């Protein structure tokens, strides 16, 4: 059952994914919002910064800075979170995640839901197409990002 989400913030996550793609990185963007206002945003910077933990969601949370509480927040991400990012979502108690696409990569939605996180999957065609194009163009980099040989 879908809950409410802001399509403009899905678009912003897509724009951040596109930015990373244009920089030569993995096209994953993320936005953290509270009451519809952006409090942090980021994109995958693993390649750009040589940082294996700089996934889109992690970059977003770093840029949001210290939060005394994540109550009332929603994390928007252009791609279904990996286990590292899903674990961080659970650890911080982020109550709602909006996933733009899980066609090219998914699997942690049930983990998040089992920990009480409300998960909405949007099926955004822009994000699906961008990730599909990236995987076709850069299969080795994609496998590195998801830690597969």
Residue positions annotated with a catalytic role = 57
- Element holding 43 (H helix, E strand): strand 37-43
Tokens of 78: 């252009």
Q: CB neighbours of 84 closer than 8 A, spacing ≥ 6?
A: 53, 55, 58
Dihedral sign (CA 11, 16, 17, 21): positive
């Amino acid at each position: 059952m879908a809950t409410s989400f802001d399509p403009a913030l899905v678009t912003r996550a897509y724009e951040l994914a596109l930015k990373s793609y244009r920089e030569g990185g993995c096209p994953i963007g993320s936005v953290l919002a509270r009451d519809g206002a952006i409090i942090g945003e980021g994109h995958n910077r693993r390649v750009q910064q040589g940082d294996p933990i700089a996934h889109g969601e992690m970059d977003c949370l770093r840029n949001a800075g210290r939060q005394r509480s994540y109550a009332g927040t929603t994390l928007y991400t252009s791609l279904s979170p990996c286990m590292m990012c899903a674990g961080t979502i659970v650890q911080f108690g982020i109550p709602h995640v909006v996933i733009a696409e899980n066609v090219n990569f998914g699997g942690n939605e049930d983990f998040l839901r089992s920990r009480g996180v409300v998960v909405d999957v949007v099926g955004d065609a822009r994000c699906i197409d961008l990730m599909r194009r990236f995987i076709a163009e850069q299969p080795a980099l994609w496998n590195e990002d998801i830690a597969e040989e």
